[in-house]
Amino acid sequence: MSENQKTILSFKDKSVEIHRDGPTVMIGERINPTGRKVVLAALKEGDFEMVRQDAIKQVEAGATVLDVNAGVPGADEVALLSQVMQEVMSVVDVPLCIDTANPQALEAALKLYEGKALINSVNGEEKSLETVLPIAKEYGAAIIGLCMDDDGIPATPELRLKVAEKLIERAAKYGIPVEDVVIDPLAMTMGADHTAGLTTLKTIELIVAEFGVNITMGASNISFGMPDRKYLNSTYMAVAIHTGLTCPITNPLVTEINTAVLATDLSLGKDEYGMRWIKAFRKRKKAQE
């Protein structure tokens, strides 16, 4: 068993600790045009009001880190990502998770960011390692490492563990410490393979036992193609947190997911005196009035 690692992210004077003994860190996923046609249309028009609202609402709902993605087809991502980050930073003061596959956009975003960001993401492909790791090192950022490589997404937990190992080793070579590598075991949809959820859980188990690193994932993918997705997502969230997930990229505005995270934290002794649970209850009650 490896000791649990602590990842510290920051924005200006605010910092967030991600640790298996602490509260689950919700990384808000909403600022992303993929699959959200209204956001896509707004960004194309240069309308950032929705981005600002998404930032504020997610933080109010308990997200302590926000993912920022500006992948709009045909747009200049370098300029757009920086612009979206500026808009987000003008309304909330939480650490950001910079979500881009474009190295120039990533670098420009890191340049204007004050603090220690989380990069989403690097993967085991040679090209990705060689491009993203030096940038992460230069700007002192933490990184999300996806368990896939030049051969695609490995089918078994053991093979995904191998990719995680490679990611951690290669990061270390660039001087990025293990605690700054957050691993994404990859959640495939149970709609196409009913054992996909289990594969991801087993992957988490292996990686946590071996490296103790923090674990993230875009957990909503798990229910793609299925009805009543919020129930699947929230239950899977609870099980995954128990297995070792520490910072899911998720939608905190969905009550089922939000309550699942809080209830799991309390069940696992991560919510002292149940204060976060009670506070969230009062907030929901007030919102209903």
Binding site for another protein (CB under 8 A): 33-35, 37, 40, 71-74, 101-102, 148, 152-153, 189, 191-192, 194, 224-227
Q: Is 27 helix (H, G, I), strand (E, B) or coil?
A: strand
Closer to another protein by CB, 125 or 210: give it: 125
- Beta carbon of residue 189, minimum distance to another protein (angstroms, whole number): 6
DSSP character at residue 156? S
- Beta carbon of residue 108, minimum distance to another protein (angstroms, whole number): 16
Closer to another protein by CB, 16 or 43: give it: 43
Whether omega for the bond prior to residue 121 falls within 30 degrees of 0, making it cis, is yes
- Beta carbon of residue 34, minimum distance to another protein (angstroms, whole number): 5
Q: Is 142 helix (H, G, I), strand (E, B) or coil?
A: strand
DSSP result, 45-63? TT--HHHHHHHHHHHHTT-
Question: Measuring CA to CA, which residue among 266, 270, 232 is closest to residue 18?
Answer: 270
Which residue type occupies 134? P
- Beta carbon of residue 82, minimum distance to another protein (angstroms, whole number): 16
- Beta carbon of residue 180, minimum distance to another protein (angstroms, whole number): 25
Say which residue the tokens 């695609």 belong to: 152
Closer to another protein by CB, 62 or 124: give it: 124
DSSP character at residue 14? E
The two beta strands, 65-69 and 96-99, are parallel
Closer to another protein by CB, 40 or 253: give it: 40
Which residue type occupies 200? T
Closer to another protein by CB, 4 or 221: give it: 221
